[in-house]
Amino acid sequence: MVLVAGTGMTAFNRRKDGSGFRDWAREAFETTLETSGIDRDDLDALVVASESDFFSLQLNPSSVLADDFGLKDAACHRVEGGGASGQLAVHAGVSMVLSGLAGSVAVVGFEPSASFLDTKTVTALYGFSFDAWTDGMTGISATALYALSAKAFMRRTGASTSDFAAVAVQNRANACRNPNAHLPLETSERDVLDSPMVSDPYRRLDCSPLSDGAAAIILCAPEKAPASRRAAPRIVGIGAANDRVRLGDRPDPGSFDAKKCAAKKAYRMADVSRPDSQIGIAEVYDAYSGAQLQAIEALGLSDDVIGAHRNRLFAPAGPLPINLSGGLLGQGAPVGATGIAQVIACSRQIEGTYHEGLQLAQPPRLAVADTHGGVGTTCAVTVLKSADA
């Protein structure tokens, strides 16, 4: 097992104060270092997550950030996997600790995706995160590709645009209690359904924002943890898998099959046989409202995801709350930081130290965090548990 010894993150938002990713990463790292009780000189490695050099204009960011953080003689590298970058960086850190290559590892993710390039340019760049030849260079957008997948999901499951709208409403309502959230909004389903169409069935309020920000955690072996952190939450399962990049090459474009595979790997490692009854909370990748329901299905959190959603099983007061942070729709989506922020939310919920108004009265014993790159193409799933589980 690997302990989450420390956590820290900046607010996710659109920065207009002249700060940059190095400022945000350092802020998140220093907070994490303080909460972990581990000295920076005792960190054996730094893993950095960042999706694109085009946003930061910094190749080899791990070396630059290690210098900014005052680290010396630490193993440094960067992980990139599209939207899954942050979660995959967590997996890299876990693997280093489990293998014995490192006793303690800092994992830091960032993305300046909101304030440094215009929206049209960012949209074009995100198109290249799919198949650049067949998708990106044709001008197709990420929203259009997600919309095609959502349409296939709707045909198979009977999901409606109202179901999608309810996800957007719930997540942004959760974000209203999250001081780090980019889009804390009190909206109605009617507001979502009346917002401008982007790519059918997705309207503007079905889409997550472009965000700036950073998040960090420190992972360590139990024997490396300070006495005060020996009971910290543990990462007990990790799993990753890929699918065909182009939707048309998949048997069912509406099913996140790679996520199913990644989840099975993580559950097997964590000895979770019934995720629908054992998992107490989940942070899932909701770049678009429908993608949340597709993720819940793929993660095996319900045999009838649409029925469970309509019966509010995934609401804050339900038996399996989903995206209490607000998710990408509400908390925001600086890509390299997203998966790490999900792990932070799960870890703090397990510890009972999450934001007031969002912390569950009975802290969960098991939690799952999930991200993907592409449209469910590169998938990464992480399972956390409490020390006494």
Whether the pLDDT of residue 160 is over 80: the answer is: yes
CA pair distance 139, 18, nearest whole angstrom:
31
- In three state form, how does the secondary structure of the chain look? CEEEEEEEECCCECCCCCCCHHHHHHHHHHHHHHHHCCCHHHCCEEEEECCCHHHHCCCCHHHHHHHHCCCCCCEEEEECECECHHHHHHHHHHHHHHHCCCCEEEEEEEEECCCCCCHHHHHHHHHCCCCCCCCHHHCCCHHHHHHHHHHHHHHHHCCCHHHHHHHHHHHHHHHCCCCCCCCCCCCCHHHHHHCCEEECCEEHHHECCCCEEEEEEEEECHHHCCHHHCCCCEEEEEEEEECCCCHHHCCCCCCCHHHHHHHHHHHHHHCCCCHHHHCCEEECCCCEHHHHHHHHHHCCCCCCHHHHHHCCCCCCCCCCCECCCCHHHHCCCCHHHHHHHHHHHHHHHHHCCCCCCCCCCCCCCEEEEEEEECCCCEEEEEEEECCCC
Q: What's the pLDDT score for residue 48?
A: 98
CA pair distance 16, 21, nearest whole angstrom:
12
Stretch 131-158: mean pLDDT, rounded?
A: 93
Q: What's the pLDDT score for residue 19?
A: 96
In order of 211, 264, 323, 339, 374, the CA distances from 336 in angstroms are 11, 24, 18, 7, 14
Stretch 4-33: mean pLDDT, rounded?
A: 97
Q: What are phi and psi of 376, to 5 degrees?
A: 65, 35
Stretch 155-178: mean pLDDT, rounded?
A: 98
Beta bridge partners of 110: 214
Whether the pLDDT of residue 389 is over 80: the answer is: no
Stretch 64-92: mean pLDDT, rounded?
A: 97
Q: What's the pLDDT score for residue 135?
A: 85
Stretch 117-126: mean pLDDT, rounded?
A: 85
Q: What is the pTM of this model?
A: 0.97
Stretch 201-212: mean pLDDT, rounded?
A: 97
Calculate what percentage of the chain has a pLDDT beyond 90: 91
Stretch 15-22: mean pLDDT, rounded?
A: 94
Could you report the per-residue pLDDT of 27-50, keeping only the tens digit for each? 999 999 999 999 999 999 999 999
In order of 228, 293, 373, the CA distances from 285 in angstroms are 32, 10, 10
CA pair distance 315, 317, nearest whole angstrom:
5
Q: What's the pLDDT score for residue 49?
A: 98
Q: What's the pLDDT score for residue 81?
A: 96
Comparing CA positions, the residue from 356, 275, 264, 379 lying closest to residue 322 is 275
The confidence band for 136, taking pLDDT boundaries of 50, 70 and 90, is confident
The domains of the chain, with CATH numbers, are 2-117+210-229 (3.40.47.10)
Q: What's the pLDDT score for residue 296?
A: 98
In order of 3, 67, 323, the CA distances from 76 in angstroms are 20, 10, 31
Residue 95 structure tokens: 């693997």
Confirm if 247 and 148 have CB atoms less than 8 A apart.
Answer: yes
Could you report the per-residue pLDDT of 275-293, keeping only the tens digit for each? 999 999 999 999 999 999 9
Whether the pLDDT of residue 125 is over 90: the answer is: no
Calculate what percentage of the chain has a pLDDT beyond 70: 100
**Contact partners, residue 375, CB within 8 Å, separation at least 6:** 130, 145, 146, 149, 247, 253
Q: What is the mean pLDDT of the chain?
A: 96
Whether the pLDDT of residue 114 is over 80: the answer is: yes
Q: What's the pLDDT score for residue 325?
A: 98
Q: What's the pLDDT score for residue 119?
A: 83
Q: What's the pLDDT score for residue 116?
A: 82
Whether the pLDDT of residue 69 is over 90: the answer is: yes
Q: How far apart are the first and last CA of the chain?
A: 12
